[in-house]
Amino acid sequence: MTDDLAGKCILVTGAGDGIGRAAARLFAEAGAHLVLVDRHGAQATADAHCPGALAVEMDVRDGAGWDRLVAEATARFGGIDALVNNAGIAVPGDTVTDASEEMWDDILDINAKGVWLGMRAVLPGMVERGGGHICNVASTAAHIGLPGAAAYCASKGAVLALTRQAGVQYAPLGIKINSVSPGTTMTGIQKNVTDAQRAAFLPLTPIGRFAEADEVARVILFLCSDGASFMAGADVSVDGGMVAM
């Protein structure tokens, strides 16, 4: 189902760890060219899993950086066929009353504004070539309220709404924009989740365990392939049944 990814150029943010790193490895195994972005660790992912990848240390909040990145990727690979907007953060103490303005801005800027900036940077090229895929990584936090995650829930809700809007806007132009909503996944971001939060989430997961990064990455791979040819503005829950409860 993902044979069509061979030779395609896939840009993955948050590629230094977790879901982004797992997705990069699967795309490389499918024969894709990779552009890997993270504040730290993108080169390590390239060295370990993605020979020939373009690895860039960049903050997804940097609009000018996005423009330079897309120009370099286009010069090397001929254009970006799919974007995986995966970069995101979670911070302890994230409640309406406890979060500082700096915390709120950091979470919203990385998790939501970074997604918009990435889409803004790649969409003109996709429109010009008449097609492409974008997979935004949302979260169960976009669907339900999670304790201690006020800004995080708000940011992922924004990602989900933007995915729906852009999915409708660009579908007539051959560009498929969808999202995936992971549940609790065993990635590096878990270091910022308290033991109490993890203990609270597990009983809410009918499958009875947390996800592995590869389980989410396989759905991302699908959403960036021709298998998702009739999907636009859709969200796929990969949460062990949490949102279905």
DSSP-assigned letters across all residues of 175-239: EEEEEEEE-SB-SGGGGGS-HHHHHHHGGG-TTSSPBPHHHHHHHHHHHTSGGGTT-SS-EEEES
Those residues whose C-beta lies under 8 Å from the C-beta of residue 164, and which sit 6 or more positions away, are 233, 235
Q: What is the pLDDT of residue 245?
A: 86
Q: Is the pLDDT of residue 3 over 80?
A: no
CATH superfamily of 3-237: NAD(P)-binding Rossmann-like Domain (3.40.50.720)
pLDDT 10s digits, 195-209: 776 777 788 899 998
Q: Which secondary structure element, helix H or strand E, spans residue 11, and what is its range?
A: strand 9-13
Task: Using DSSP bridges, classify how beta strands 175-182 and 235-238 pair: parallel, antiparallel or unpaired.
Answer: parallel
Q: What is the pLDDT of residue 84?
A: 98
Q: What is the pLDDT of residue 200?
A: 76
Question: The whole model's pTM is what?
Answer: 0.95
Number of CB atoms found within 10 A of residue 226's CB: 13
Question: Mean pLDDT over all residues of the chain?
Answer: 95
Whole-angstrom distance, CA of residue 227 vs CA of residue 98: 43
170 is catalytic: no
Asked if 164 contacts 143 with a C-beta cutoff of 8 angstroms, the reply is: no
Whole-angstrom distance, CA of residue 176 vs CA of residue 135: 8
Q: Which secondary structure element, helix H or strand E, spans residue 157, and what is its range?
A: helix 150-170
Whole-angstrom distance, CA of residue 174 vs CA of residue 123: 11
Q: Is the pLDDT of residue 1 over 60?
A: no
pLDDT 10s digits, 15-74: 999 999 999 999 999 999 999 999 999 999 999 999 999 999 999 999 999 999 999 999
Identify the active-site residue in 66, 77, 152, 222. 152
Q: Is the pLDDT of residue 244 over 80?
A: yes
Asked if 243 contacts 237 with a C-beta cutoff of 8 angstroms, the reply is: yes
Q: Is the pLDDT of residue 191 over 70?
A: no
Q: What is the pLDDT of residue 113?
A: 98
Q: What is the pLDDT of residue 114?
A: 98
Burial class (CB in 10 A: 0-12, 13-18, 19+), 190: middle
pLDDT 10s digits, 92-151: 999 999 999 999 999 999 999 999 999 999 999 999 999 999 999 999 999 999 889 999
Who has greater pLDDT, 171 or 189?
Answer: 171
Indicate the domain borders of the chain.
Answer: 3-237
Q: Is the pLDDT of residue 77 over 60?
A: yes
